[in-house]
Amino acid sequence: MLWRSGNFLMLEPVAEEFAIPAGDHIVVEWIGEMGEISLESDHAVIHSPMGGDIRAWDSNGVEIRIW
């Protein structure tokens, strides 16, 4: 996902928020059913379906903790 205009990322349904520098990237893996990505003017939302699992890593390869 290339995202230039935003400044934070929201992960749903866990309601976690992470600061992401504009122009930076993350890697997202869905386990189970595919989720969706919504891009807004100041943030992005990654939705994982209920009962699904999601993992994400920052541009340095460090896993983002998602509870």
The count of structural domains within the chain is 1
**Alpha-helical regions (H) of 1-67:** none
Domain that holds residue 60: 8-64
What parts of the chain have a pLDDT lower than 50? Answer: 1-2, 5
Give the pLDDT of residue 1: 46
Closest by CA to 66, choosing from 15, 30, 31, 32, is: 15
Please name the residue that has the structure tokens 């749903």: 12
Give the pLDDT of residue 61: 92
In a domain, 30, yes or no: yes
User: pTM for this one?
Assistant: 0.64
- The proportion of the chain whose per-residue pLDDT surpasses 90, expressed as a percent, equals 1
Preceding omega of 13 cis (within 30 degrees of 0):
yes
In a domain, 3, yes or no: no
Rg (alpha carbons) of the chain, rounded to whole number:
11
Give the pLDDT of residue 2: 47
